[in-house]
Structure 1
Amino acid sequence: MTRLSYRTLSNLPDNVITADIAPASVQVGIVHLGPGAFHRAHQAMYTQQVDKDGCWGISAVSLRSGQLKDALQQQNNLYTLMILDDKPQTAIVSALKEVLVLEQDRAQVMARMTSPQTHIISLTITEKGYCLNNDGSLNLEHPDIRHDLAHPDNPISAIGLLAAALKQRKHTNTGDVTVISCDNLPDNGDTLHGAVTLFADQSDTALSQWIADSICFPNTMVDSITPASDDALQKAAEQVTGLEDAWPVQREAFTQWVIEDKFSGPRPGWEASGAIITHDVQVFEKAKLRILNGSHTALAYLGSLCHLNTVYEAVTHDAMHTFLNTLLHEEILPSVDASDALNPGQYAADILKRFKNRHIHHLLSQIAWDGSQKLPPRILQTVKDNLAANRSIALLSATVAAWILFVVRASQSDTKIIDPMGETLHELVKTHNGHLTNVADALLDDKRIFGELSQNTAFRNTVHSQLRIVAAIDSQNVSQQLAALCQ
């Protein structure tokens, strides 16, 4: 089959969406760190839709893997976006001008990040890529951060790389760049700003002050369910386009991007493609982290225990739907304030409707990755608020209990735990011989995950109580045990 490329764009069927301008003419104006499926399905498409002058092409930088570079370099970095809904759409995204790999292309990466033509540096590196402590501050003892502090001209972390690039921009007086985190972190822009300035302050207080005074790190909220690419997607993309594509991506039709109106240089007119530019991102961010991401986390761990595979399977399972609905209305929604911009109840109803999109094959196993990083912002912050307000934490605690059991069973079956603490978790289970109560106590003692909740007796007791019920779930009593969790 003919490969997707600039040369073969003219072969596409008329119903496939393409950019309004010739992709070969677009110049780089954005550097993006972490060009995973979400960025390619989300921010890249927003940018393509508004880049009418051809000055906002994206230089995509992988911090570790060269797989994407190898896959896309034979097709001019074009790829197919499949939008899955009852009325599906297909688009060819041409916003990526190049894919660089930090270790292979270090000089070129730095040149792009410090170029006067680059006005946006954005990131989707997942929670673990920020090398943070439980309280959201930079972990100066993280191995990657320690490496970068010792070798500032050869950084391997996103934080060290940003500091190095901003140092050079300071010297060349090119501070007209905005750094935009698009990851699921509370106050992600403020958190990234704090991490970069603290890193710089370890060796160059003048740089730290310049970053604080000159560079904007707007808070953002991003949303669109984006399942991992697979062979079935590749075949579907080829069937629609008639062209071979080494790495297409997919997402649901719904997409949202909320960006704080705080920039230190030029930017694309993203609002023309539906982005919300606002002074109050927090109301959207809190709702998304707690309602959508919190629900996803609960489904991932409890659904897996119930032998369910996808979000669609879990949310259309009667007992699991009842559990999730109770969790939302009794424990999550009371922690999210209503505002003129957002009705939490309607937002939750819309999310449940999105989860029931039968065209989205979103694996629970994928959502379950990096639990030690995801639990604090998605579940534990809500637990803290509910304890302070004397509200129920039973089902939030059941989610924590399900994660503990997930870790134990993965370790005992020698399944790799995909988590920045994966080896630590495996060794902990091994040390306690898989004894569930002892493992739970050891995990709850870990302040890197649970912070002040490690010392909260009510929380610990509730987790242990729910753990006994969760551990008894099997294929024969799913409905009964899920109902027991809600009592």
Structure 2
Amino acid sequence: MEKQLSIKTLDQLNSNVAVPEYDLLNSQCGIVHIGPGAFHRAHQAYYTDLALAYGGNWRIHGVSMRSDTLKKALAPQDNLYSLAVVDDTPSLRVIGAIKTLSTLSEDRDVITAALCSPATKIISLTVTEKGYCLNNTGCLDVENPDIQHDLANPDLPISAVGLIAQALTARKYSGNADVTIISCDNVTDNGKKLAKAVIDFTYHLSPALAQWIQDSIAFPCTMVDSITPATDDEVKANVSANLGIQDDWPIQREMFTQWVIEDNFSGPRPPWGEVGVTFTKDVLFFEKAKLRILNGTHSALAYVGLLFGKETVYDAISTPAIQALISALLEREIIPSIETDNIETLNQYADDIVARYHNKHIRHMLSQIAWDGSQKLPFRVLDTIRDNLHANRDINLLCVPIAAWCLFVTRKAKSGDAITDPKAPALIDMASQHAFDPVAVTNTLLNEAAIFAELSTNSVFRSHVLAHVKTLSECSSLGVDETLNPILGDL
């Protein structure tokens, strides 16, 4: 295919392709985004692209901290790219929200100017939790090599925290405080954590500057959600065929997408509310709903599904007994744990989540969801169990994914397969010490206070988990129905 996606070739696209509805040649940037990876391009850039149709100079200056791959790939395309929504009714849209792409190692002066520009009203980032450089106590990790470098060289930062601190320092003295710093990472209390990192950092340079940031700059918390599978050659070929011209760097995501932002800004913002972004004073409610309804059932699907040889979320949810387990888990034990005056909205959210799992076009691997169980389960499942115990509600089904995880660890250790988990060596050692006996291994795992805390000594919790371990350990000789029906039969 000779013709390539660009501003000049937009009028040659197939008629069913949506295109930007604003002036690509003359609209300017109002957002600097650090970490313009696939999720950002499928999520925040998508919402901004839609919002630009309502006016304003809100295009994005994307900043890559290290790699220039994206910059080089999109330069011939005027930074345009395609977003393919993968569903039973697929759609294709060209995104033009990103006007400029820069790489810190090559374009430091350009990036610094953009961050300090009076035209920039939003600085956002997706750098993963590691990029916040916090230690186990939630404070800035001053032992982190990047932070040590930036404290010694505040005018030449190499971390996102240092880069933001440098920009806010300049903006304080230029009088351009009307900027909001927005974390878009999938991290609980992400705005508070980012603020803590930046304020801690600047305190080492100037306590007065740290106080000014605390008093003047908003770091709203957010909740983001949408599955964005990796782009491979097949995706590129399909997208280009549907465009009618070549796109060398398309992305794909599921139809469902959600962005919730705390209504706390220290300057103007794009008209995101016009295109589906939710502004709220209580992001915590949305975070809790996502953690428990989406992430909690994701973990249940992963560990239970893997026991029965399932590969993807779709494979697992398409198994009637597993779907029945997930439905019962949501209805009986997860949704009741979330306090709300609008239970209908919560029920609809749960229905939407289950509908997402039935998207056969998304290959969301259970093996990947099962990573880092010792870190994820406390937030995804154990906190729900705690709340239910405190309220004298049932925890029987919530203990199923815990039992399935214990069996997952036992079987991985026995077979010699790698376990992707920061506690993997300790988990494998526990399993081997008990000759991979499921009940004995589970009893030892449940003693791990670093994972289970006070639940380790809760007899109700332990008895439910052990009972399910005994039932699920028979899954090799029994089918899915024969194994899960006794659990579901208790309802």
Shared fold per TM-score greater than 0.5: yes
Unpaired segments ≥5 residues, structure 2: none
Question: Which residue, 243, 246, 251 being the options, matches 2:245?
Answer: 243
Instruction: Map residues 17-36 of structure 1 onto 2, 5 A cutoff.
Output: 17-36=18-37
The CA distance in 2 between the partners of 1:274 and 1:202, in whole Å, is 40
Q: Provide the aligned C-alpha RMSD in A.
A: 3.3
Specify whether residues 191 and 16 from structure 1 end up closer, same or farther in structure 2 by C-alpha distance, changes over 3 A only: same
What is the aligned partner in structure 1 of residue 202 from structure 2?
200
Amino acid in the other structure paired with 2:11: S
Amino acid in the other structure paired with 1:205: P
Matched length: 481
Q: Which moved more, 1:106-115 or 1:427-436?
A: 427-436
Instruction: Map residues 426-437 of structure 1 onto 2, 5 A cutoff.
Output: 426-429=424-427, 431-432=429-430, 434-435=432-433
Provide Cα deviations, 1:102-129, integer angstroms capped at 9, x if missing partner: 4554444333323222211122334444
Amino acid in the other structure paired with 2:425: E
Q: Does the residue aligned with 2:397 lie in a helix, a strand or coil? A: helix
Specify whether residues 155 and 433 from structure 1 end up closer, same or farther in structure 2 by C-alpha distance, changes over 3 A only: farther
Q: Does the residue aligned with 2:400 lie in a helix, a strand or coil? A: helix
Instruction: Map residues 284-295 of structure 1 onto 2, 5 A cutoff.
Output: 284-295=286-297
Question: Which residue, 299, 302, 305 being the options, matches 1:303?
Answer: 305
Provide Cα deviations, 1:291-349, integer angstroms capped at 9, x if missing partner: 12222222233223322222222211112101211221222111112224963223212
Question: How far apart are residue 18 of structure 1 and its match?
Answer: 0.7
Q: Does the residue aligned with 1:343 lie in a helix, a strand or coil? A: helix
Specify whether residues 446 and 98 from structure 1 end up closer, same or farther in structure 2 by C-alpha distance, changes over 3 A only: farther
Question: How far apart are residue 178 of structure 1 and its match?
Answer: 0.6
Q: Which moved more, 1:142-151 or 1:9-18?
A: 142-151
What is the aligned partner in structure 1 of residue 213 from structure 2?
211
Provide Cα deviations, 1:21-48, integer angstroms capped at 9, x if missing partner: 2424332221223323222112111111
Specify whether residues 379 and 143 from structure 1 end up closer, same or farther in structure 2 by C-alpha distance, changes over 3 A only: farther
Provide Cα deviations, 1:418-447, integer angstroms capped at 9, x if missing partner: 5xxx4x434334544745555984686363
Q: Which moved more, 1:173-182 or 1:374-383?
A: 374-383
What is the aligned partner in structure 2 of residue 55 from structure 1?
57
Instruction: Map residues 94-109 of structure 1 onto 2, 5 A cutoff.
Output: 94-109=96-111
The CA distance in 1 between the partners of 2:145 and 2:473, in whole Å, is 36
Q: Does the residue aligned with 1:309 lie in a helix, a strand or coil? A: coil
Provide Cα deviations, 1:97-154, integer angstroms capped at 9, x if missing partner: 233344554444333323222211122334444455677x236377467545754535
Question: How far apart are residue 92 of structure 1 and its match?
Answer: 0.5
The CA distance in 2 between the partners of 1:268 and 1:345, in whole Å, is 30
Question: Which residue, 93, 96, 113 being the options, matches 1:91?
Answer: 93
What is the aligned partner in structure 1 of residue 191 from structure 2?
189
8 Å CA contact retained: 2:124, 2:182: yes
The CA distance in 2 between the partners of 1:156 and 1:465, in whole Å, is 51
Question: How far apart are residue 237 of structure 1 and its match?
Answer: 0.7
What is the aligned partner in structure 2 of residue 445 from structure 1?
448
The CA distance in 1 between the partners of 2:461 and 2:146, in whole Å, is 32
Instruction: Map residues 50-449 of structure 1 onto 2, 5 A cutoff.
Output: 50-52=51-53, 53=55, 55-132=57-134, 137-138=138-139, 140=141, 143=144, 147=148, 151=152, 153=154, 155-340=157-342, 343-406=345-408, 422=421, 424-429=422-427, 431-432=429-430, 434-435=432-433, 441=444, 445=448, 447=450
Q: Which moved more, 1:209-218 or 1:196-205?
A: 196-205
Amino acid in the other structure paired with 2:73: A
Larger Rg, first or second structure (1 or 2): 2
Are 1:5 and 2:3 matched, yes or no? no
8 Å CA contact retained: 2:140, 2:200: no
Unpaired segments ≥5 residues, structure 1: none
Question: How far apart are residue 277 of structure 1 and its match?
Answer: 2.3
Specify whether residues 433 and 371 from structure 1 end up closer, same or farther in structure 2 by C-alpha distance, changes over 3 A only: closer
8 Å CA contact retained: 1:432, 1:439: no
